[in-house]
Amino acid sequence: MTALSLLPQQDARTRRDRLEVLTALINGPEFDAVLRGGVLNIPPTHPVYPWSCVIPDCERSRWKHYAMCSVHAEQWQEAEARGMSRAQFLRGAEPLPRAQEPEVMMCRICPERPAFNLRLVLCLRHRNRWLSHLKRNAGAGEAEYEQWVADQQPCPGYGECRADVCDELAVSPLGLCGSHERGYLRDGRPGGARLPKNYFAGFERHGRVVPIDCDDQAGFRAWCRAQLPVHRTGTVNLRGLRPLLRAEFQWGMYLHGLRSVAVWHLTWVQSLADECQRRDVASLAGLEVSAVRRHYHQRMVQEMQEALRKGYFTPSDTRDAGYIETEHFGVRFPNRSSYVDLTCISQRWLRDLLWTTSPTCCAHRRARAVPSRWTSCAARAPS
């Protein structure tokens, strides 16, 4: 059992206070601005969370746990087997141009419509127009394609995806992005939302809004609310998290960058956020680490909990909970946790005595350490 689970139940007031403190820290001038907001768009060469291939000038993104794109990672495996050093390989590898990611391709004609046909890079409407153009002009071939594209008018978009967490654009009047529309069909259309037959001829052609037929509006809305974000390279979507949990992720990611003892891949951060959203976690402070499925997620949760503990609990709180937070007393051990667990001592009086007389706490009282940044920020936050 961790000390965190011994703490009193967090009530709404505590959560609100913690959110205020974290919000003040996240809005502070030292905080990394790319970690603010609901969707974090991380630059490819971010110092803590880089995702571009490490080969100089290669424009492709990293693959799996490698620091290289899939092509360079495979070349490197072969080169390493032949006995080449990493430095030699990095110097000699040829950079590659950016690979188009099929999910983010937009129609070549409509700036607000995602591509439906990836070979032609056209939305459904323009794909159909191109097919009828080919039918009408029996001799027309792909050579004419560029001219035909130049003559086309863009169609208006369908707005943002209706899935609450999603920031992608919808692919049809149903209002879902490609990924969520496929998911909706896979789930058997909960709520029965569907488009009228021939909606283009009946509505779009005349500039009319396409109505959605729905057997159960509430069922469709509930499905939209429950969706997880679409995974995108270089993006962490925290929209589905409760406000306190989102702030804890942002603050945890920021502090991780200051320590940077282990690599956190962005896909790991996203999948941990997904797990928390699925389980409706309110705060990392109440989360049992052992209940988290993957090992790398467990280590991330532990690191974030440790960072939060220093701000959430005063020294006297930690005595009540049965542990010493050495950084409260200005003591930091290199490569060691600042958390000293005393919960193995069952008698409260003995635990308190040890807490009060531990060398760390005594040294602090003698030195009267300066209050930490956390303490001063918490003091400034409105009650």
The residue among 346, 332, 314, 318 whose CA lies nearest residue 21 is: 314
Residue 26's φ and ψ, nearest 5 degrees, are -70, -30
Is 163 one of the binding residues for Zn ion (CB under 5 A)? yes
Selected binder of Zn ion within 3, 4, 19, 166 (CB under 5 A): 166
Closest to Zn ion by CB, 28 or 95? 95
From 165-173, 265-273, 330-338, 364-372, give the range in contact with Zn ion by CB under 5 A.
165-173
Residue 103 DSSP class: G
Is 180 one of the binding residues for Zn ion (CB under 5 A)? yes
The distance from CA 282 to its chain's CA centroid, rounded to whole angstroms, is 16
Q: CB of residue 177 vs Zn ion: minimum separation in angstroms?
A: 3
Binding mask 78-107 for Zn ion (x = CB under 5 A): -----------------------------x
Is 228 one of the binding residues for Zn ion (CB under 5 A)? no
Closest to Zn ion by CB, 53 or 282? 53
Closest to Zn ion by CB, 54 or 321? 54
Q: CB of residue 70 vs Zn ion: minimum separation in angstroms?
A: 8
Residues 6+ away with beta carbon under 8 Å from 283? 10, 15, 18, 242, 244, 245, 248
Selected binder of Zn ion within 15, 18, 60, 328 (CB under 5 A): 60
Is 53 one of the binding residues for Zn ion (CB under 5 A)? yes
Beta bridge partner(s), residue 169: 160
The residue among 378, 321, 228, 369 whose CA lies nearest residue 2 is: 321
Residue 160's φ and ψ, nearest 5 degrees, are -75, 150
Closest to Zn ion by CB, 178 or 311? 178
Q: How far apart are CA 366 and CA 258, in angstroms?
A: 29
Contact 158, 177 (CB under 8 A): no
Residues 6+ away with beta carbon under 8 Å from 302? 289
Q: CB of residue 206 vs Zn ion: minimum separation in angstroms?
A: 18
Selected binder of Zn ion within 3, 21, 25, 58 (CB under 5 A): 58
Q: CB of residue 210 vs Zn ion: minimum separation in angstroms?
A: 16
Selected binder of Zn ion within 4, 22, 26, 69 (CB under 5 A): 69
Selected binder of Zn ion within 4, 25, 40, 55 (CB under 5 A): 55
Half-sphere exposure of 325 (CA within 13 A, CB side): 22
Closest to Zn ion by CB, 226 or 345? 226
Binding mask 104-123 for Zn ion (x = CB under 5 A): ---x-xx--x---------x
How, if at all, do strands 339-341 and 323-325 pair?
antiparallel
Residues lying near Zn ion in the complex (CB under 5 A) are found at 53, 55, 58, 60, 69, 72, 107, 109-110, 113, 123, 126, 161, 163, 166, 168, 177, 180
